[in-house]
Structure 1
């Protein structure tokens, strides 16, 4: 099949479906003009305008907007720079406001009001850095910032997806200044549709979007037989502007393990579980919930995302979030490095006494502990209701006395159990189901 048919059968429909869900098409020449040349990864004029629009009184001039733009495009061309670019998108960066003589947070996106953002899609995106010149098939830009890079292949190319992934890898090597801005990538050949996080380029970090969308309404044990959606459904589900904003700001996670920074994007089942947990945590009538993720489906990252959202959301009024993990998780040091990636101050309970002290002294923020540190804990250690306890491997850690001590110490807390172990559905009403999911159909939230 010729390149023309790849364009006709895959690329053109992709562009059309994107426009139908709210993206504005920019011809390559117009995109190049707005960028100010091939060396710029951003639509300069769009970003300058949006910076002023989203930051009234903070970015109060074109000169100030240009200064922010230059800071953004000069981030390091690697995963560390990609984290910094994400922090800009997340609203964690500041700018000095002369009139108030203090730093104020910058907004580059408005996820709460999607209509306040601009959504552009363009093709044949040429980028040059003086050493290399690359050309991405499709690039999606929010407020002028390239956030998603898409590679398309003809359906008849047997190794099309593998070749597309190789191209994405090459862009990281030859155009890292562009890829430091982009947060997601997608690969499709009409029949197959994969996506992943930039700077996370192993084959196992690539997710099959077709399976994720097909499984959306299926129960955990029925996902393999779910009906498969068509290309239009896939593209539109992936590109809904409000969803892209949410993925960019809430469902990308940077973690440090053994000093090395890595990046994860959550899958739809993890996103749905997160939203269900947050809904349960907002419900004053219900104080329990169970999340059942099958093995290998990213339970730990779902827990971390829930914790982050609880701490960030002002509706939870500066809560305490306890992550109850097992020894293996703590030994991996993942939970001891959370401060470095935006969790604020993290307390790691070093002993039973230390944990009791933290709870008695009303420590806020994140507390990481192991279940055995609740052994013989006093009842009513903390009576606040905005305490949220996320329990890993809930099926084995909360049985018997330890679970009783945990719940007795924090009688008004909300307890969410996470399990990756297949559960005998006939056990509904017993064990883990009874402790965490008694009030939910089937015994679990998601």
Structure 2
């Protein structure tokens, strides 16, 4: 038989099989599979995707003492036909994989007994059966397909691998093969933990719900930065190592409901390595005196998901009655993080029982026993000269401070320590610690994981930002203005007094920046640019303060309506083809929604009224709309296409639908 060409898909398959063998997997080629109980894999038909004999053997081994009836009931529940969507089925089966199958059977005394049948031994990988099958043939309702490589754990097809020759584009493995397989043989993906696509030099991994752009590279085998000779080696050794695969499946997977759609989230390489470093720090909480470290992963790289992975793994794997106190310094961030935990299924208690309404409610929650508590750092405030009271002596409380580098954490750090003297503290941040932020290290410890902007761009976790300088006719000549303003607004949270301070210290520059004629030109330019971008996508207009955000909303609305009137005026002289184009443009413009997203403050209606502005309509929308404006803006199909902000939504807000930012 001739040897396969070195660049062929067959050669790559052989290379992958050899790698799995070095990781301790059994391997088997099923190209000439014979069916039947004594056949190659013990399958009766090619429509079966679970290797029943291997599953039965594994369950008997993992559940010593349970009768055969209990094992059979578990197998029947696990393999029964499910008519729900692929995503819902995968989610349902994932819960069984993770937590076992509850069965009820009669004992020898004819009494009913309920037990949980364990499907996988998560703690001892070698206590499970690992089998890699190549050329695995599966038939669906109409069509049959042959998968390149399937990784079975205890007879369950957890890993799907599609290979392409070196010279072929990897996207084809997704668009041409994987998409077809999910439609024609969906039962193969009911049990799937992860999908690997590779042409040898490029490899990516993703979950069954992931679009192509969310399939990610896996660049490091371990935290020492070890890599393979080619990317296929790196991804197989990094993910399909028995311990890594079970850890990823058990602790770095969750399902997230958004916009009515069920999304499966699989941890990425930087999250897996970083979170495990953080978990290790918790295991050494006594030695490090509660300073668990600083987790620096740049904005947009999934930092809030890392918080979910971190807390959920500790709750599941480490002994203790753990409570996590999630701290932020802005109301919108607190709301966003709470929603992320809730949508991921991590928070099971009602919102009113985990989110602190005020300082007294916070004290009550911390004296009680909750898995999660969410609060603003400002609720640890005390009167001048007062000492914050001790709320708990527990050593199984972990404080997670989001954007831990910001100055507020220095201010309230002592109150936190007084309240929770034996707690562990970990800081999550999207920016590096700079000179002058040594206090942050003193409170949290040194870096435990670094994933910077450059790495994130290279991995595709963060999209690159392309800057276009658009200069209005009115310009400023103070070259130091940016530095002067940054000194005041670096926290991106201006309260009423800080806004007045900004006006006082920069009264001349402020009035130039916010002059009506200047804003008018910018609003006109925003409308022109937004409609002429040549691509879809939503936009965010970032203003210097709340008042200017409302002014810009009013002015953009004015020019938007002028554009509609201009297009309507052209209809009478346009050709039939041109008329349809104009009507489409008019429909888009008239359907477009805009909103102002700014924080509230006391007496704000009077403050806005003094400047000739009305905040009430915007405040009502923020308070009352359901779904919320944040969900509408994230939904690419919702007509809320332009928002006007000054501090809210700038950080900690994940909106893939937003493609343009207007920063003035």
User: Which category of TM-score, normalised to the shorter sequence, fits these structures?
Assistant: 0.7 to 0.9
Q: Deviations over 1:200-229 (max 9, x none)?
A: 2x12311112x344x9535xxxxxxx9774
Q: Deviations over 1:60-80 (max 9, x none)?
A: 20x432322222233434212
1:165 aligns with 174
Q: Which has the higher contact order (CA 8 A, sep 6+)?
A: 1
Query: Is contact 1:311-1:321 (8 Å) kept?
Result: no
1:280 aligns with 2:281: yes
1:48 aligns with 56
SS at match of 1:22: coil
Query: Take 1:380 and 1:140, find their aligned partners in 2: how far apart are those partners?
Result: 52
Q: Deviations over 1:249-276 (max 9, x none)?
A: 1111222235432111112321222222
1:312 aligns with 316
Alignment length (residue pairs):
423
Q: Deviations over 1:383-417 (max 9, x none)?
A: 11111111111122743433333332111110111
Query: Take 2:408 and 2:161, find their aligned partners in 1: how far apart are those partners?
Result: 45
Query: Is contact 1:273-1:445 (8 Å) kept?
Result: yes
Query: Take 1:291 and 1:374, find their aligned partners in 2: how far apart are those partners?
Result: 23
1:382 aligns with 392
- 1:224-243 alignment, distance < 5 Å: 229-230=229-230, 231-243=232-244
Instruction: For residue 248 of structure 1, report the CA deviation from its aligned partner.
Output: 1.1
Q: Deviations over 1:70-128 (max 9, x none)?
A: 22233434212111111122125422254484533331111211121000111222222
Query: Take 2:270 and 2:190, find their aligned partners in 1: how far apart are those partners?
Result: 27
Query: Take 1:363 and 1:141, find their aligned partners in 2: how far apart are those partners?
Result: 40
Query: Is contact 2:305-2:340 (8 Å) kept?
Result: no
1:152 aligns with 2:163: yes
1:321 aligns with 2:324: yes
Q: Deviations over 1:299-335 (max 9, x none)?
A: 11111011112222352x2121222245334444763
Query: Take 1:191 and 1:113, find their aligned partners in 2: how far apart are those partners?
Result: 32
Query: Is contact 1:36-1:44 (8 Å) kept?
Result: no
Counterpart of 2:342 (choices 338, 356, 360) is: 338
Query: Take 2:71 and 2:381, find their aligned partners in 1: how far apart are those partners?
Result: 55
- 1:28-427 alignment, distance < 5 Å: 28=30, 29=33, 33-58=41-66, 60-61=67-68, 63-73=69-79, 74-75=81-82, 76-99=84-107, 101-157=112-168, 159=169, 161-166=170-175, 167-200=177-210, 202-209=211-218, 211-213=219-221, 216-217=223-224, 229-230=229-230, 231-283=232-284, 284-286=286-288, 287-288=290-291, 289-315=293-319, 317-325=320-328, 326-332=330-336, 335=339, 338=342, 341=345, 343-345=347-349, 347-352=353-358, 353-360=360-367, 362-376=368-382, 378-396=388-406, 398-424=408-434, 426=435
Q: Deviations over 1:3-56 (max 9, x none)?
A: 995333211111111112111112211686423221111101111111121112
CA RMSD of aligned residues (A): 2.7
2:584 aligns with none
Counterpart of 2:27 (choices 25, 28, 46) is: 25
Query: Is contact 1:93-1:105 (8 Å) kept?
Result: yes
Query: Take 1:372 and 1:228, find their aligned partners in 2: how far apart are those partners?
Result: 48
Instruction: For residue 351 of structure 1, report the CA deviation from its aligned partner.
Output: 0.6
Normalised TM-score (structure 1): 0.86
Query: Is contact 2:254-2:265 (8 Å) kept?
Result: yes
SS at match of 1:399: helix
SS at match of 1:39: coil
Query: Is contact 2:341-2:347 (8 Å) kept?
Result: no
Query: Take 1:217 and 1:416, find their aligned partners in 2: how far apart are those partners?
Result: 22
Query: Is contact 2:163-2:197 (8 Å) kept?
Result: yes
SS at match of 1:134: strand
Query: Is contact 2:401-2:426 (8 Å) kept?
Result: yes
Normalised TM-score (structure 2): 0.59
Structure 1: segments with no counterpart, 5+ residues: 219-225
Query: Is contact 2:297-2:430 (8 Å) kept?
Result: yes
Structure 2: segments with no counterpart, 5+ residues: 451-664
Query: Is contact 1:32-1:38 (8 Å) kept?
Result: no
